[in-house]
Structures are given as C-alpha cells and as structure tokens.
A = this chain, B = another copy of it.
Amino acid sequence: MATGNLDKQKTIDLRKKHVGPSCKVFFSHDPIKIVRARGQYMYNEKDEKYLDCINNVAHVGHCHPDVVEAGAKQMELLNTNSRFLHDNLVLYAQRLQATLPEKLSVCYFVNSGSEANDLALRLAWQYTGHKDIITLENAYHGHVSSLIDISPYKFHQMAVAEPSQHVHVALSPDIYRGKYCEDHPDPATAYAENVKDIIEQAHKKGRKIAAFIAESLQSCGGQVIPPVGYFQKVAQHVRNAGGVFIADEVQVGFGRVGTHFWGFQLQGEDFVPDIVTMGKPIGNGHPMSCVITTREVAESFMSSGMEYFNTFGGNPVSCAIGLAVLDVIEKEDLQGNALHIGSYLTQLLDDLKKRHLLVGDVRGRGLFIGLDLVRNRDKRTPATAEAQDVIYRLKEQRILLSADGPHRNVLKFKPPMCFSREDAELVVEKIDQILTDLEKTLGLQMSEAVISENGHTKRKEPSDENGLVHPSNGSSHSHKHTVTLPHDKKTNKRQKT
C-alpha cells in the first residue's frame, strides 16, 4: 500500500493528468491537501489544523475510533455479499427500523445516496405503475442519470436545461426566497396547492404521478426548511393521484436536526413518508446507504419478478460500521449535542444578523443551518460574491465552510455532530470580522443607534497563532428590531432571479 507523501504540486499535477476534470476541488486556485482528521478537525500536509464546519459525512466525527474498530474487526473476519445469511445485516436493519415509524419496516442496502434514490424511483414506478416524478426547484438527489433528471440543481448547470417529460418541478417551499414567504398566512397550504396544480396539469396531459420526492430539508438548494404541515398536504395530493412520497434524508438524517432523528419528523407525528432514503452520514464515510419502505411497496417490487441484488450493499463490514455509528450517536448523545450546539450557533448567528446588514436570514434546525447573505435586505438580493469572499477568508483562517443554494450565497453549516460551543464561537467570531470588513468596503453599515440597541459595538479582535480567538459572548436578543438601511430603504420588491 502507498499512503504517499508527494509534494503538493505533484499531487495537483497528477490529479490534473489522471482524474476527471469534472471532479472539482474545494478552493480551486489553492486547494487544500488534507492528510489526517479527527473529530471536527482536519489537518493539512503541514499538520495545520482546520475546523470542519461542512463534512456531514463524518457524522460522528472524523475517524471515530469505535467506528474504525468495528470496520477493521469485521474486515478481518468476513466481507461478502448478502446472498449469504449474516447477523450484521438483520441486526442493522432492525436497529434502523427502530428509529422510524413502524410502517417503514423493509430495508434495501445499497452503496450511496444516489443508488438509494434511484432504487426509490424504481420502487415507486413498480408500486404505482406510473412514471412521472414531482421534484422541487433547486433539488439535488444524486449523480446517476435518473437522478440528474430530477435534480434541477444539476440539470440547470447544463446548456440544455429542460426537464425530462416525466419530471415536474414544483415550487421550493422556501419562505425566505420563494413565492410564498413568512408574511403569507399559510405558506404550507399554498406550496402544497402548487403540487396539486402540477398533478392536475399532468393528468390533463394523460400523465400519471409515481412519486413526489423531496429532501426533508433542502441542502444544496440553500438550507430550506419547509413550513410545518407542507409534507402532509403534499402527501395527500400525491397519494390521491396514486403516487408515493419519498423523503430524501441523505443529507440531513441521523439526528442532525436535533429534536428528531429524521428530518421529515419535523413536520409532525402525523406525517409518514412511503419511502425514506439515507446516505452520507450513515457510515461516517464508508460507502453505504439504505432505502426503507413499507411492506406493501416492497411486496409490489418483488412481484415484478426481478431479483434485486447489490454486490456490496449490506455486506457485513458496512453493517458493522452502520451499527457502530448508531451506537456512537446514542452513547455520545450526538442528537442532543446537535440540538444544544445547533441552538447556540443559531443564536450566535442571529446576533450577527443584528449587527450585519449582509445577513439576510438565519435558518436551520440542529446542526443544519444556513446563513443567507444579501446585498440588500428588502430586496433580498443574493450576496454571491460576498459569500465566496467569506468562504475564502475563512479558509485562510483555517475554517472550512461552504456556500450553496441557487445563488451560492447561503453559508452552509453541517459540521460533524461533535461540534462544540467553542467551535461555534470561533467560526461566528471569524465571520463577524469578515462581514465587518466587507461591509466597510461596500459601504453597508447599520446606523449606530441600531447597533447600540443590539448591544454590540465590538469589531475585530486579534487572533492567536493558532487562529483561535476568544469572542465576547453577545447574549441573544429575541426582540424584533428595525435596521436603518443605507439605500433602497423604501422598496420592498424582492429579487427573485
């Protein structure tokens, strides 16, 4: 084996030569070479430490020793396919099932979120006998061809960006940038009505709906939190049309939202999807994934007569790792941590909003949070370049954060679940400094009166040689306030590109 020790430029050169140019690196003009990681920290070839705010795959922390041990032990013992009986497979299926409503009882083990979502479509097609799929604006469901079709986030990158005939794109239930916002009396119903309209239009053309698919909280789409009740109403419309509801938990599942183990559970106890897909965090980096559905859907899939065999899916090593991840989440109460640290981080970010006009919106649940940067709060003009600036400047200070959403202006927090209070304080402090600088340059400044009312006047603080600072803790202010805007004060027309 060869864990090499190449000069960084040599690594870059070899990558250019032998790795597909469509496979991008972070920070393309000066990419990061990471050689080891632990918990929420990653280390480059000079052993410089980065705070990782983005790797939701390293769910229980990079290289968690319990997970590594479980994988290594099982690799030594047996790694084969699921045509042989094995306890890991059935015990893992049982454990996963126990986190879900009883009705969702049948598992299929696969290797990636993409394989999971593709299988979810196959299940839906077979069960309903219908073909059409309703997906959301800006949705991303995976990289295999069937999923590019239903991922506007991807197919909009193409020159020819028309959806396939069998794909219908519904409004994103985004109450900050969408058609119905927080000032609408009932955005859940309004957005669900849009799905109903799409179904009616499809029926008029003689088309039939197989499924509605949505991430329980939209990630690449800009950390969108659908209003409570939306999924129930959509499910009703879709089921009335003979379709099923697929909840894509690939990005947000496994306790990240803090109050619940699954993102869809934020909608309330009365909502149960027909199919749930899982991915990224499930194996803490090990390639594995799962689809869980009802007995009815599973029986129907079998009745097609076609065997489902997945060479690597559900092998004893993957299942041992999956079990270890569940154990660590429980043992270390990482869902609780997501709730507490997530709330604290949200509060710190809310405070930032009080001091920085560039912050348009703070939204999230648990350790899944978006900071929507705007050039103009009333128009909600996406601050795309500024978001990139923040990301790059954070990188210089060895903090890894990313910007996403259709305008690439939403700073996305989805760190390993062992993220701490100190980590939250550090990243917010750094963002605070960067926003202050940016706002100075842009001439965007809150009136002193507002800042003073918010109780924050401090600016930059020096950081020590490790890039660590000790921020003063601005306590959270829950009362509403009015900001004095430098320009476009009167207009309330929002930018919706």
Interface residues of A (CB under 8 A from B): 1-6, 8, 11-12, 14-15, 17-26, 31-37, 42, 55, 57-58, 62-63, 65-91, 93-94, 97, 105-109, 111-115, 118-119, 121-122, 125, 143-146, 148, 154, 157-159, 279-280, 284-288, 298-299, 301-302, 304-318, 320, 323-324, 327
Contacts and interface: CB of A to CB of B under 8 A. Distances in A.
Given A14-B94, A21-B299, 19 more contacts: A3-B88, A6-B91, A20-B301, A23-B307, A23-B310, A25-B83, A31-B84, A33-B84, A33-B86, A36-B77, A42-B80, A71-B75, A111-B112, A112-B310, A119-B143, A154-B306, A157-B304, A157-B307, A159-B305
18 contacts: A1-B323, A1-B324, A4-B90, A11-B85, A11-B87, A15-B90, A21-B302, A22-B304, A23-B108, A24-B83, A34-B85, A37-B80, A63-B79, A79-B286, A115-B115, A115-B144, A154-B306, A157-B304
A67 to B, nearest CB: 8
B80 A15 contact: no
B57 A311 contact: yes
A12 B87 CA distance: 9
A57 to B, nearest CB: 6
Contacts of A115: 111-112, 114-115, 143-144
Contacts of A324: 1
A76 B3 CA distance: 12
Main secondary structure of the interface of A (DSSP, over half): mixed
A2 B125 CA distance: 35
Nearest to A88: B3
A64 to B, nearest CB: 10
A3 B125 CA distance: 35
A161 B112 CA distance: 28
Quick one: which of A5, A20, A31, A72 has the most chain B CB within 10 A? Answer: A20
Contacts of A34: 78, 80, 84-86
Given A68-B76, A77-B63, A112-B310, A89 B1 contact: no
A287 B286 CA distance: 8
A115 B289 CA distance: 13
Given A111-B287, A287-B287, A31 B85 contact: yes
Nearest to A312: B287
A317 B87 contact: no
A146 B149 CA distance: 11
Nearest to A68: B75
A35 B146 CA distance: 36
Nearest to A283: B312
Contacts of A94: 14, 17-18
Contacts of A125: 145
A123 to B, nearest CB: 9
A144 B159 contact: no
Contacts of A71: 71-72, 75
A67 B79 CA distance: 12
B80 A23 contact: no
A413 to B, nearest CB: 17
Nearest to A72: B72
A213 to B, nearest CB: 14
Nearest to A17: B105
A143 to B, nearest CB: 6
A184 to B, nearest CB: 34
Nearest to A307: B24
